[in-house]
Amino acid sequence: MINDRPTELRVDLNAILNNYNKLTALNNKKTGIAIVKADSYGLGARAIANHLYKNGVRHFATATLEEALELKDVIFDSMVLVLGVTNPQNVKYAVENNVSLTCPSKVWLEKCLEEMETIKGKLKIHVKIETGMGRIGTSDKEELVKIDKLLSSEKIDFEGIFSHYSNADGSDNNYDDYQTKNFDERLKLFTHKPKYIHIGNSASTVKYSDRQDQYNMTRLGISLYGCYPSENIEKLDKIKLEPVVSLVSKITHVKKFLKGEKLGYGVSYEAKQDEYIATVPIGYADGILRRAQGFKIKVGTEDCEIVGRVCMDQLMVRCSENIKVGDDVLIFGENNGQKISVDDFATFQDTISYEIFCCINKRVPRVYYKK
């Protein structure tokens, strides 16, 4: 397949592995779950999971059963936990492929046990305890006691129990402590403790790296991909994450505009003086949303402002007369000694790095390398 555009998303596989190793070492060598859900935040789960697996990582998590099944042929005997709710009618696929499922409620588990009556093998389960996030799982103690009894079934492998911090990237510990207390209280309701107990995410993995507690696993998401969950976590200065992702392109057209000439949809930009406008072959169909208008990207060594509305397939920047067709463009990441933080790009658009990565459309080729 040809690629007629010079736009590509570059992903450093070794930087991801290095971040994984740094994070697990920081967190008292607890088992780290590599979060590869949503196609590894849009960066390419197969390539990333395969590289991590070949370098010893054996614990992964996805959002859906479909995502897990798509990866089993590259990560084989690894634990793969589905973090979302799986339709009980599909538990046979989980059993057949050694995939662990999240149990969000007693009713869900009962339906799974009904399905398991005709299925050989055991269903691996991680019970989700609701402690203050409000998505899935239960906090009701009576329900959890009933779930505990159901877990004694010979058809169930009670592998894990977990919850999720909702404000660990914040500036204080108050809500984290509230959730931890809820979690600990509900852990006591279970007659048998599973192999894995986890509540940590990227933020808490860094924030509470000095804690020695009974939890033996932590989930590594955005930090795996070189981004801090928030400025609060970065300011703790506990770990230096390696940048992973760069979005690059090249100039395809340059034109001189005279003072007063207008450009773009809605004629949203007018030349304030005689100036040069260059075109970059990437647009909102590729994941560069229209709210990026006004952000300065790198063309060669120049800081060039995105002017006019971002189009579906292209955008324009104001530049100097020195810019030529074929010059390198850096939207975020690193290229030829130039750097633009994806967090700066995200902050300008009032969003987070997670969304920036996930929005980059599959039309943009992923190029994997090992620095």
CA distances from 240 to 15, 30, 35, 224 (A): 11, 19, 19, 12
Fold of 245-369: Lyase, Ornithine Decarboxylase; Chain A, domain 1 (2.40.37)
Residues 318, 270: Cα–Cα separation, whole Å: 11
- Containing H/E element for 340? strand 338-340
Residues at the binding site are 135, 312
Catalytic residue positions, numbered: 37, 265
Written as six digits, the tokens of 152 are 């004694």
Q: What is the pLDDT of residue 212?
A: 61
SS3 48: helix
Q: What is the pLDDT of residue 211?
A: 77
DSSP secondary structure string for all residues of 249-292: EE--EEEEE-TT-EESGGG-EE-SSSEEEEEES--GGGT--GGG
17: nearest Cα among 44, 61, 50: 50
CA 45 to chain centre: 10
Q: What is the pLDDT of residue 184?
A: 95
Residues 333, 247: Cα–Cα separation, whole Å: 6
Please give the share of the chain, as a percent, with pLDDT higher than 70.
99
Q: What is the pLDDT of residue 132?
A: 95
Q: Which of 3.40.50.1000, 3.90.1170.50, 3.20.20.10, 3.30.70.60 is the CATH number of 13-230?
A: 3.20.20.10
Q: What is the pLDDT of residue 304?
A: 98
DSSP secondary structure string for all residues of 25-58: HHTTTPEEEEE-HHHHHTT-HHHHHHHHHHTT--
Q: What is the pLDDT of residue 8?
A: 97
Q: What is the pLDDT of residue 266?
A: 95
CA distances from 176 to 27, 132, 134, 210, 217 (A): 17, 9, 14, 15, 17
Residues 109, 86: Cα–Cα separation, whole Å: 11
226: nearest Cα among 43, 27, 8: 43
Low-confidence ranges of the chain (pLDDT < 70): 1-2, 212-214
Q: Encode pLDDT of 237-260 as tens digits.
A: 999 999 999 999 999 999 999 999
SS3 69: helix
Q: What is the pLDDT of residue 1?
A: 61
In the chain, domain spans: 13-230, 245-369
Residues at the binding site for substrate are 135, 312
Residues 222, 34: Cα–Cα separation, whole Å: 10
Q: Encode pLDDT of 324-350 as tens digits.
A: 999 999 999 999 999 999 999 999 999
